[in-house]
């Protein structure tokens, strides 16, 4: 087992966990029996057993084709259609994964997650004259941000390779039957993969949504599934004290009951920064509704100790901290000795940077706990394809239990639709004419 949860510094008394145990068990069984709100979206729970093995093989073949044909893959999607894959690539290869040599894999860049022309032009400049492919990921095919990006990069492919050549470099991941991309893929002959109906965006990274970009980038998706499978089996237990996913859900609930408003996921490895971005979507879209839930954010230590660390230490006691700690570094660099000790650092001579990072974590833990900030520790043995599969499932399971405990549907996101409707109206999308007039009047009042 490579994931461990430590709740010793959560500031809880034994009887508090015992008190909340029946609620955890009820939430767990609601999830396991698929009787709760959003139960039609639980395809992620047994994905290791139900995944489409034929499509899995096609994904690996398509990734190999991309690697053979191209130097760059542009993965187009927003929200869960890109956050998981990007988190996985950085988890496995680090934040410089596109610049560092790998045994296999192309450079993978992500588009369609914003509407910035500067960002898109930067990607075009990065591609330059090199060969590239595109994977557009959208269940509906009409989400504005990815739709705009796909138009631009599709045109670039067709100019560079011709329409017939572009066909072999465009991969579509979308709904099995409906949506704007499905008929387009069939008309043009693009290879298409499925976004399963029972798997929402933030739970989709281990479907074609995330697997194709990760495989093209060089990740071993078989190893990912081994981690996913082991975690699925490990957390099939309703007992709070022997199931770390259930225990994490219980502690999060108790933190909320004690008046905490925010959870901050603090990573000490830059390779987990994008995992923090994925975590923010998972937690906030799942729990932040009906005026309930913790506000979840992330930080990168020790970097952010020199900014928000001050507020964590001495600010209002509205938050608790969950440390994401990686026990083993990929390499062990040692601090060299300086005979003159001009920087006063010789006390660290001969020590590894991982050892120093651990002492920074320990020192911060002590300071924050002594300052009244509850702390949890989620330890991961190392950063690998396998542990990415494990860790993602751990957070999925904990979040689902936690969401049912606070009485929300963890699998929808009604609030996300509000900005889309306003944007469509202001852009003049057909069918939104009346709303456009009212919004333009409202804008004059607030701008």
Which residues are designated catalytic? Answer: 285, 420
Q: Which helix (H) or strand (E) holds 109?
A: strand 107-111
Q: Do you know the residue count of the chain?
A: 447
Helix (H, G, I), strand (E, B) or coil at 4: strand
HEC profile of 351-384: CEHHHHHHHHHHHHHHHHHHCCCCEEEEEECCCC
User: Count of CB atoms within 10 A of residue 21's CB?
Assistant: 16
Peptide bond into 302 cis (omega under 30): yes
How far, in Å, CA of 70 to CA of 278, rounded? 27
Complete edge-to-edge strand list for the sheet that includes strand 170-174: 107-111, 72-76, 132-137, 170-174, 191-194
Q: How far apart are the first and last CA of the chain?
A: 54
Residue 160: C-alpha distances to residues 33, 152, 188 (Å): 52, 12, 17
Q: Distance (Å, rounded) from C-alpha 270 to C-alpha 419?
A: 31
Q: How far apart are CA 261 and CA 412, in angstroms?
A: 21
CA distance 274 to 60: 24
**Residue 142 Cα distances to 44, 78, 137, 167, 182, angstroms:** 24, 12, 11, 20, 11
């Amino acid at each position: 087992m490579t994931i461990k949860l430590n709740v010793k510094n959560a500031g809880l008394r034994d009887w508090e966990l015992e008190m909340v145990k029946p609620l955890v068990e009820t939430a767990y069984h609601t999830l396991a029996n698929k009787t709760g709100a959003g139960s039609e979206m639980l395809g992620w729970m047994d994905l290791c057993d139900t995944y489409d093995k034929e499509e899995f093989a096609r994904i690996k073949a398509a990734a190999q084709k991309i690697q053979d044909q191209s130097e760059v893959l542009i993965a187009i999607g927003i929200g869960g259609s890109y956050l998981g894959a990007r988190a996985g690539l950085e988890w496995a290869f680090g934040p410089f994964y596109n610049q560092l040599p790998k045994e296999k894999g192309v450079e993978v860049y992500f588009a369609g997650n914003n509407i910035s022309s500067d960002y898109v032009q930067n990607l075009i400049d990065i591609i330059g004259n090199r060969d590239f492919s595109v994977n557009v990921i959208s269940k509906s095919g009409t989400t504005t941000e990815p739709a705009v990006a796909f138009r631009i990069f599709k045109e670039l492919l067709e100019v560079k390779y011709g329409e017939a050549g572009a066909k072999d470099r465009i991969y579509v991941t979308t709904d099995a039957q409906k949506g704007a991309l499905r008929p387009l893929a069939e008309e043009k002959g693009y290879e298409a993969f499925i976004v399963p109906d029972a798997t929402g965006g933030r739970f989709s990274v281990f479907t074609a949504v995330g697997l194709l970009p990760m495989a093209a980038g060089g990740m071993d998706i078989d190893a990912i599934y081994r981690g996913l499978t082991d975690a699925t089996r490990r957390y099939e237990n309703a007992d709070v004290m022997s199931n770390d996913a259930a225990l994490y859900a219980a502690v999060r609930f108790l933190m909320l009951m004690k008046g905490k408003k925010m959870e901050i996921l603090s990573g000490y490895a830059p390779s987990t920064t994008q995992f923090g971005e994925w975590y923010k979507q998972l937690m906030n879209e799942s729990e932040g509704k009906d005026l309930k839930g913790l506000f979840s954010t992330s930080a990168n230590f020790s970097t952010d100790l020199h900014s928000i660390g001050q507020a964590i230490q001495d600010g209002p006691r509205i938050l608790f901290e969950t440390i994401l700690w990686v026990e083993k570094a990929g390499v062990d660099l040692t601090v060299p000795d300086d005979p003159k000790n001009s920087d006063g650092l010789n006390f660290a001579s001969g020590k590894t940077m991982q050892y120093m990072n651990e002492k920074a974590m320990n020192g911060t833990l002590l300071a924050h706990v002594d300052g009244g900030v509850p702390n949890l520790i989620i330890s991961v043995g190392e950063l690998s394809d396998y542990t990415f599969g494990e860790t993602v499932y751990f957070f999925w399971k904990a979040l689902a239990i936690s969401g049912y405990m606070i009485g929300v549907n963890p699998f929808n996101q009604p609030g996300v639709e509000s900005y889309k409707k306003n944007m469509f109206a202001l852009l003049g999308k057909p069918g939104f004419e009346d709303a456009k007039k009212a919004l333009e009047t409202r804008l004059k009042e607030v701008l």
